[in-house]
Structure 1
Amino acid sequence: MPSRSPLSLAALASAAVNGLEPMRTQTLDATADDVDTALIEDNLSRHWVVRAPRTDVAGMRLDAESQLVGKLRSWVPFGLPEAEGVAPLRNGGRALVHRRLPGRAVRPLELLHRPALAASYGEAIAAIHNLPTHLAEEAGMPVYTAEEYRFRRLAELDRVAATGLTPVRLLTRWEHAVEEVGAWRFVPCVVHGDLAGDNVLAEGEKVTGVMEWSETRVADPADDLAWVSIGATEPAMRPVFAAYTAARSEPVDTDLVRRARLSGEFAIARWLLHGVHSNDAGIVDDAVQMLADLEAGVGDEPW
């Protein structure tokens, strides 16, 4: 299905929320390429985000996310994208509309010079990981044991190797990592699954909101620390991990930091797979260059 225009998304927002009269609209980049997203400003200067799935799978994913977010309000110390209205779509499914959360996107490198924000970032991730796992289960999110998740990584590695586009040294590094069984003895917890990009918002030195919960699962806590592990310098990471460790309700396993780095590296491999599967040469070229840069950065160092 072709993407919807900002004007059509504004019309959906107006139908979803009583009294919402769109005045300005702009397209927003969505984490998923099967969801149309726009920012709407109404006649009362309120700002709204409308998301409309283009496929049945995307619609089910958004509905599961909405159900989960509705359960989390009293559990986390930051804002959530709670739907305030829905509008039926012509071909089935529904569009969801929520208020724009306050704050701006957190960037990894700024954490080096803003230790209070780094601590708030770590505490926010800990709050997610401290959530009761039944909340994710009841919303229909995937649930993995530690061993199941390790095998999932192995299968992913096989698919990456099959592309023939990944440097051999990286494949060897990842193979050693996944085959080191002792490094995968973690306690599964609720994981957001997509804390990169614009999904963590802050005002001043405080995390104010976390967006995009459709990738939530019960799995490896390292996945939520991947973005900061690969995107920030080691000094910037220290206050994040210190605050995270202090705020966790369960002991943090000794290999968490190593797996977080690995998860960040795997994110580039998944970007490559996405490009290959969608037959998008631009994404493939981008991913191949990122993998080459990663190989140059890690050299022969063990994972």
Structure 2
Amino acid sequence: MAVPGLDAYDVRRPAHPGTDYDIAVVVDAARRRWVVRAPVHPAAGAALEAEVELLDGLGRASEDGALPFAVPRPVGFAHLPEGGRAAVHAEIPGTALDVAELAPGPGLCAAIGRAIASVHELPTSVVENAGLPVYDAEAYRVRRQAEVDEAARTGKVPPTLLRRWEERLEDVALWRFRPTVVHGDLTNERILVHDGDVSGILHWGDASVADPADDLSWLLVAATPDAADSIMEAYQLRRTELIDPHLTDRALLAGELALARWLLYGVRTGNADVVDDAVSMLEDLDEHTRTPVDAELPTAPVAIASSYA
């Protein structure tokens, strides 16, 4: 048994299963709910093992009040016949954040801003001790440049969009930032909300020490401008660092570059549907960011795909 003494009473599956993990909710005889995550391929298994190490440090930060929300705390493991192991943790109360319902002001928007800022305020050692990636600002810029170069080689990114990205990646001033702990794949599905507050953040397998802008990009795209302003105000108030003047610029750029990574994911996996979807979104972005003189190009909202980086 993964959890000694657990008397399973019922097993339930999520309505929208993911592609990396087989997830089930087990209800025991005392009506307690447990989440079982089993990796479905070796890469997911390796990510889960790294995440388990990280969650130990994050859990202590939550207990100490450094994080104002809960994180999954594995309490047991079950070895899988095909190799690897599944992790079991108590279910965190809450439902996935509905960005469309975010209203500006001191309520949930502020709670989200504070929650993300608290992650970025953690000591980087919590990631380093788990053996997860650590980047300085220049190394991270070079990494993003390499992704753009690889996307360019597919021949599927509009030339004006490539030029736009290259100009921003070559702007050294834009990339002067202090790397922080980042979640790395933050979306509405990762954030749990309960009683009008952030109750938990899930799926930490892509965590690293990198650009804090990456954790904010999806919100700046998906939330209304007023809600995004409330989130950013609360975020900045929670941070102890001097204000990063280019944080929003990099966050919006990160949203665009997520489309390049979505394209690369489709190409690498041979998934024609993903490639077509990425190409369509890249063409839309190119159309929205063009000007007749192709001068300074404002960033336009686009859908953000998961990083797959």
Match of 2:68 in 1: 77
> Hey, which of these two has a bigger chunk of helix by percent?
1
What whole-Å deviation, never above 9, does each CA across 1:30-79 have from its counterpart, x for those lacking one? 66x33322233334333222111233332221111111111112321101
> Alignment partner of 1:51: what SS?
strand
Q: Given the alignment of the two structures, is residue 295 of structure 1 paired with residue 286 of structure 2, yes or no?
A: yes
Please give the alpha-carbon distance, in whole angstroms, between the structure 2 residues aligned to 1:27 and 1:236.
29
Q: CA deviation at 1:28?
A: 5.9
**Residue in structure 1 matching 2:139, options 143, 148, 152:** 148
Does the C-alpha gap of structure 1 residues 47 and 257 become closer, same or farther in structure 2, counting only changes over 3 Å?
same
Match of 2:51 in 1: 65
> Alignment partner of 1:16: what SS?
coil
What whole-Å deviation, never above 9, does each CA across 1:228-272 have from its counterpart, x for those lacking one? 011123222101110000001212310000000111111122111
> Alignment partner of 2:71: what SS?
coil
> Alignment partner of 1:198: what SS?
helix
> Alignment partner of 2:205: what SS?
coil
Match of 1:21 in 2: 8
Percent identical? 45
Match of 1:213 in 2: 204
Within 5 Å, which residues of 2 pair with 1:195-234?
A: 195-234=186-225
What whole-Å deviation, never above 9, does each CA across 1:130-152 have from its counterpart, x for those lacking one? 00001100000100000000000
**Residue in structure 2 matching 1:253, options 244, 253, 256:** 244
Match of 2:40 in 1: 54
Within 5 Å, which residues of 2 pair with 1:2-151?
A: 15-18=1-4, 19-27=6-14, 29=16, 33-75=19-61, 76-113=67-104, 115-151=106-142
- AA in 2 matched with 1:17: V
Match of 2:305 in 1: none
Q: Note if contact 1:51-1:97 (Cα within 8 Å) is conserved in structure 2.
A: yes
- AA in 2 matched with 1:21: A
- AA in 2 matched with 1:50: V
Match of 1:6 in 2: none
Does the C-alpha gap of structure 1 residues 28 and 190 become closer, same or farther in structure 2, counting only changes over 3 Å?
farther
Q: Which moved more, 1:79-88 or 1:67-76?
A: 67-76
Does the C-alpha gap of structure 1 residues 295 and 44 become closer, same or farther in structure 2, counting only changes over 3 Å?
farther
Within 5 Å, which residues of 2 pair with 1:259-278?
A: 259-278=250-269
Q: CA deviation at 1:88?
A: 1.1
Does the C-alpha gap of structure 1 residues 293 and 233 become closer, same or farther in structure 2, counting only changes over 3 Å?
farther
| Structure 2 unaligned regions, length at least 5 | 62-66, 292-296, 300-309
| Structure 1 unaligned regions, length at least 5 | 1-14
Q: Given the alignment of the two structures, is residue 175 of structure 1 paired with residue 161 of structure 2, yes or no?
A: no
Q: Which moved more, 1:203-212 or 1:112-121?
A: 112-121
TM-score by length of 1: 0.89
Please give the alpha-carbon distance, in whole angstroms, between the structure 1 residues aligned to 2:275 and 2:181.
31
TM-score by length of 2: 0.87
